[in-house]
Structure 1
């Protein structure tokens, strides 16, 4: 079974935040050591106060300098390494003047060694681990006597046991807290990567659709021109058996196809324009009504003042994709409402028939939906979702309790002063 620690790497961790967290932990440890030093002075315990105080002050000075070096663009990884090295050296100096390896504080070698393995795996972590091992071994030989060496044996043993418990608890709290923070950070990074992968997949699908659309436009333009010329010739020749109204219908349908290709080319490049929001929506929806006389469209704009906003033209295809879906799924009745508050446009599109399955609601916008329409490809919602996400907005779909589907567009827009 792979270890949880194998998930950590210096690339997946915000080293700057880790350095800040280590700085705070170091200040906490220095404060705790100061309290212990003051408590020891209150008892008749003989130890070298001056060297120990010097070690604590040196570590405090280093900890105060590290943020200044960070502001001077020193790499966070080097600051982490320098701080952990200073921790080991300062702890070694404290132990050397307070009993050496017999001091229960020796267990505090573990946190910096573990933090080095998590934050700087490789040569430095091995070097720091080796340094801790060598110095810990040397403390068995070179050290000042344990401060309680001349005290009652039972009292000294009890104090040593209490110190062992204290250092174990402190090490456990340090390591658990820091590793838990790293695990949460890694989980957040994994979620960000998952969202980025989904976005990349969607963008790749959109690029593929754009290429196919361009190829289709190129492939259809020549046959349409040919058919248009033939229709014009038939109109002049008046061939027998072809009623004039049917010929007019053929020509009108060819014009529709040519206009669609023209719009495809003109909308290939999008841009932001200043518009009166609800007036522009009313005008566009009126044009849509003319193209879809078979659908009853109920349009309810906000009753507040019509604002001037900067609106990307890519918004309109995303909007009408959803309206077309609602019209084809809603039995010929569609309701559209909109309001603009605090710089955010909200558009509600409602059809009163049909519903989406739970699987379709979960997949909405993330991939192709299984379309129930005879010629439906299930791409409309995905395209609208991707376009709105690119513009900084969002799309949500919900089933209505009374039947039908409710689609809500939320899009932040820059309001212009009139």
Structure 2
């Protein structure tokens, strides 16, 4: 069995058609075995007519599986063929007195699920009319013996058989429907979370644009003051070192505002992975002189890749969180497995609450150092999701917080 789609979903209708085709073959095999068994007991059955009906249904099943029809048209034609074949089989074996007449519910059920609307109503009325006609137009009931008690017992046995078959079909259909509904509910929940996150990112982008405009003037003023102080105290070594650090920090702020004005960093060129990563980490460490970054990178240069420019701010967000929560020490380890880069960033102290772990990356949460979870993880999660990767935060048993960043790589060709 397969998913039960809307009539406009051609792909799902094709899968439903394939499922019904397989189910029809199973029912045909059951019918052939049943007729073979009954013929061995001495029942007076019109075997040529019954065999011809089953052959026609099998031919229709085979033809519809390869006919140049739309999935919806083939599905409807198959259900009509099922109704006609069942009408013929019941008419040849006693009419409405035959318990297998209850199987008329099968085509009606599938029509209501797969093709709701006029076709389902039409097939339902046709099946009802066919069932009613079988009270008057049918061959005699093929009894083996003439007593009423035997006939009644036979009828009850047939009712049990049709009930078992109908219950099995309904259980399969309802179970599949429940599974499909739960999957769609989960997909809708994920879509709502993504939409909420995107709305938050748009709001952050608007606020960032306003902040960039507001910061440009005071940043230029601070740069001029730092330059004047550096020129006036060039003979004071200690002060000159502090002023040089201030100028570097201000230059970094100007570069960040310039990148924001351009709409992001320029596209990265292809370069060996681990030397590029080491260079970027060194640049981040320069801006964080109070933080000791302990890194473990492979000695080999790794593949030549062109990492998306947005990856680096996402990495820096995790490093910043770890630096602020880790008491001045951050550990980073990099591994490469099957063209997938894994970065493990650890701060030795701090702990995340259960709420923060559950919502990490899905919504902005108030930051409470040393846990250190806020907008940075939200932005990192959104960036990694767009690049096909993921980020996961866990509390280490020995203490501290570990951020695992996984990014599939596309080698430069």
TM-score normalised by structure 1 residue count: 0.87
Q: Is residue 2:207 matched to residue 1:212?
A: yes
CA contact (8 A) 2:44 2:144 kept: no
Instruction: Return the offset for 1:196.
Output: 2.3
The one of 275, 295, 299 aligned to 1:299:
295
Q: Deviations over 1:22-63 (max 9, x none)?
A: 111111101101111212222322232222222211211121
Match of 2:99 in 1: 104
Q: Deviations over 1:241-285 (max 9, x none)?
A: xxx979989876654432321233356266453121110111111
CA distance in 2, matches of 1:237, 1:399: 49
CA distance in 1, matches of 2:394, 2:232: 56
CA distance in 2, matches of 1:412, 1:77: 40
Going from structure 1 to structure 2, the CA distance change for 1:321 and 1:230 (only over 3 Å counts) comes to closer
CA contact (8 A) 1:9 1:119 kept: yes
Match of 2:30 in 1: 32
The one of 80, 85, 88 aligned to 1:85:
80
User: RMSD between aligned alpha carbons?
Assistant: 2.9
CA distance in 2, matches of 1:249, 1:303: 30
The one of 159, 166, 184 aligned to 1:164:
159
CA contact (8 A) 1:273 1:313 kept: no
CA contact (8 A) 1:271 1:314 kept: no
TM-score normalised by structure 2 residue count: 0.88
Q: Secondary structure at the match of 1:20?
A: helix
CA distance in 1, matches of 2:290, 2:225: 31
Match of 2:386 in 1: 390
CA contact (8 A) 1:8 1:186 kept: no
Match of 1:414 in 2: 410
CA distance in 2, matches of 1:44, 1:159: 14
| Structural mapping, 1:272-351, within 5 Å | 273-304=269-300, 306-351=302-347
More displaced stretch, 42-51 vs 355-364: 42-51
CA distance in 2, matches of 1:37, 1:385: 63
Going from structure 1 to structure 2, the CA distance change for 1:301 and 1:354 (only over 3 Å counts) comes to same
Q: Secondary structure at the match of 1:410?
A: strand
Gaps of 5+ in 1: 1-6, 239-243
Going from structure 1 to structure 2, the CA distance change for 1:140 and 1:190 (only over 3 Å counts) comes to same
CA distance in 1, matches of 2:247, 2:290: 21
CA distance in 2, matches of 1:29, 1:59: 11
Going from structure 1 to structure 2, the CA distance change for 1:234 and 1:43 (only over 3 Å counts) comes to closer
CA distance in 1, matches of 2:188, 2:171: 25
Match of 1:62 in 2: 60
The one of 256, 259, 262 aligned to 1:263:
259
Gaps of 5+ in 2: 234-238
Q: Is residue 2:138 matched to residue 1:140?
A: no
Q: Secondary structure at the match of 2:111?
A: helix
Match of 2:45 in 1: 47
Q: Deviations over 1:209-251 (max 9, x none)?
A: 223222322343345446666888999999xxxxx97998987
CA contact (8 A) 1:350 1:407 kept: yes
Going from structure 1 to structure 2, the CA distance change for 1:18 and 1:179 (only over 3 Å counts) comes to farther
Going from structure 1 to structure 2, the CA distance change for 1:278 and 1:229 (only over 3 Å counts) comes to closer
The one of 131, 151, 173 aligned to 2:126:
131
Q: Deviations over 1:355-393 (max 9, x none)?
A: 00011000001111220149x881000110110011001
CA contact (8 A) 1:329 1:351 kept: yes
